[in-house]
Structure 1
Amino acid sequence: MPRQVDHVGRRRLIAEAVCRLADERGLEGVTLRDVATRAQVSMGAVQRCFRTKEEMLVFALEHVGERISERVRARLVRSPAQSAGTALGHAVTEVSLLGEEHRAEARVWLAFVAQAAVSEALAGALRSNYAALHEAFTRLVSEAGEGTDRAVPLDPRREARALLALADGLTTHVLVGHLTPQEAQDVLHTHLTGLWEQPGPTSSRP
């Protein structure tokens, strides 16, 4: 009886190999041959899973995005009684990849972002990932804003866009050493706190 091949498992194994190589060399250093060697499969096995290198890279990017999203979901499930504001803070922190344990993942993520500037296939995958995160952040901002008494109500979709941009920016600043992880956490905390504070009166010019 022919041996059954777990194609889903093999594709994930190859995606992990892509990520390890991207962490070490950047995406320009990722070749099908090196991926096969790192994943300990044949070149033929890689080519049966992915028709092109671009298809392989798109799957690897989606694999990383799903891994981050799964951590966000797990963080929220672990503390179901937390406020929406606290949940939002946890979610943005996970997406920012500020912890030392996520440093390699941050390098891989930014390598994909850089390559997406010249690859429409990768750009499309990134847009889908950002769209899903934007919807999740929008919901959390909306729920958290319901418990505040602001003269100017929050625009949840706009604030969600700002948080996504802030998360990506903090990832970059920590990775290149412009900010320490703690400084980045302070920036994030200050921004989130400011969302729920009542804005003061604006001064008028004479």
Structure 2
Amino acid sequence: MPKLVDHHERRTLLADALLRVAAERGLMDVSLRHVAAEAGVTAGMVQHYFRTKDEMMVFALDVVAARVAARLDAEEVGATPRARVRTLLVQLLPLDAARELEGRVAVAFHAYAAARPDVAVRLRDDTRGMRAAIAHEARTAGVAALDPEAAATGLLSLAEGLAVHVLGGHLDGGHALAVLEAHLDLVLGPER
């Protein structure tokens, strides 16, 4: 009887290997061969699941997004708009090993997407979705001093910038979290 293969599991195994290679070497150095070696499979198997490097990159981004969503689902989210925005933005900060790996891949993916407009579409969609969610919470909070779209753009940009600074060793995670908290207080008000 032929062995049953879980194709999603195999693709995820390959995506995990891609994330590790990207975190260590950067996305420009990722190749089907490097991913195959990291996953302990043949290059032919990688090509069976991903016809192109871009296809593999987008799938890896989807895996990261799914992991963030799973953490968000598992996390107890507060009842206030500020608490909900905080929960989302903290997921972008590299405060543990999993988020550090994802953060390194996200930074590399931004650079990769800058040179690959067709791949950048997926990244823009994710960013637009996060900005819309934060803007919705800002409107719900009734923050009159700031346009909700501007507040969302500022908070998301701050979290992404803090992540880059933590990854680069300019700040530690605790300091980045304190800065995020201070800005959440300024934009959405202190937690009540």
Which TM-score bucket, shorter chain as reference? 0.7 to 0.9
The residue identity in structure 2 corresponding to 1:90 is T
Match of residue 83 from structure 2: 86
The residue identity in structure 1 corresponding to 2:12 is R
Q: Which residue among 143, 154, 165 is the counterpart of 2:140?
A: 143
Deviation at 1:153, TM superposition (A): 4.9
CA contact (8 A) 2:89 2:159 kept: yes
Kindly indicate whether residue 116 of structure 2 is the aligned counterpart of residue 124 of structure 1: no
| Structure ID, larger Rg | 1
Structure 1 segments (4+ residues) deviating >6 Å: none
Aligned positions, number: 188
Match of residue 191 from structure 1: 183
What TM-score results when the alignment is normalised by the length of structure 2?
0.88
Per-residue deviation, residues 82-106 of structure 1 (Å, max 9, x unmatched) = 32212211211112x2313322221
Match of residue 172 from structure 1: 164
CA contact (8 A) 2:138 2:188 kept: no
What TM-score results when the alignment is normalised by the length of structure 1?
0.82
Match of residue 201 from structure 1: none
Structure 1's unaligned 5+ residue stretches are 198-206
For the aligned residue pairs, the C-alpha RMSD in angstroms reads 1.9
Work out the percentage of aligned pairs sharing the same amino acid. Answer: 40
For residue 115 of structure 2, give the secondary structure of its aligned residue in structure 1. coil
The residue identity in structure 2 corresponding to 1:3 is K
Structure 2's unaligned 5+ residue stretches are none
**C-alpha distance in 1, partners of 2:172/2:46?**
39
- Change in Cα spacing, 1:33 to 1:196, as seen in structure 2 (3 Å) is closer
Q: Which residue among 80, 93, 100 is the counterpart of 2:96?
A: 100
For residue 122 of structure 2, give the secondary structure of its aligned residue in structure 1. helix
**C-alpha distance in 2, partners of 1:196/1:178?**
26
Match of residue 26 from structure 1: 26
Per-residue deviation, residues 148-168 of structure 1 (Å, max 9, x unmatched) = xx6x35422221111111111
